[in-house]
Amino acid sequence: MDAQIIKTETGEELVVLPRSHYEALVARASGPSEADEDAGTARIIARSDAELAAGRELLLPSEVAEALMRGDNPLRVIRKWRDLTQTALSERTGVDQGYISAIECGGRAGSLDVFRKLATALAVPLDLLAGE
């Protein structure tokens, strides 16, 4: 850097630098411009939209998220959110209705293959249903 340090008569040290360096420091200290922040926000939104469209991200209503955080059975919560009965989910997946009921009640753990079928039918990531 083309800076010079000079001392005043009182011993204070001052730094002299080219105006372009000074302006760059001021810009950095003041943070990103509004346009930079808007562009950054737009990139975050675009990335999130792409993740949602690809099925890698899911937006849940607050009541669904709260039920999951309370520890309610994820399969039951998501099935009800998707407005499906156990019978309708059974018909979509080929998984026996009794098996779905047993998973929801905690009587059976459910296999990975079954959870894959259920997650696909409910259009949710597998780990939302089978993740522990």
What confidence tens digit (pLDDT) does each residue in 8-42 have?
Answer: 899 998 888 888 888 888 777 776 677 777 777 77
What confidence tens digit (pLDDT) does each residue in 32-74 have?
Answer: 677 777 777 778 777 767 776 776 667 788 899 899 889 999 9
Domain residues of the chain, as ranges? 4-53, 62-130
Q: How confident is the model at residue 86 (pLDDT cuts 50, 70, 90)?
A: very high
Average pLDDT on 110-120 reads 93
Average pLDDT on 98-121 reads 93
More confident residue, 36 or 108: 108
Please write down the HEC assignment for all residues of 8-65.
CCCCCEEEECCHHHHHHHHHHHCCCCHHHHHHHHHHHHHHHHHHHHCCCCCCCCHHHH
Q: For position 54, what pLDDT does the model report?
A: 74
Q: What is the dihedral of CA 47, 48, 52, 53, to 10 degrees?
A: -30
Return all residues near 84 (Cβ < 8 A) that are at least 6 apart: 92, 122
CATH no. for 62-130:
1.10.260.40
Whether this model's pTM surpasses 0.85: no
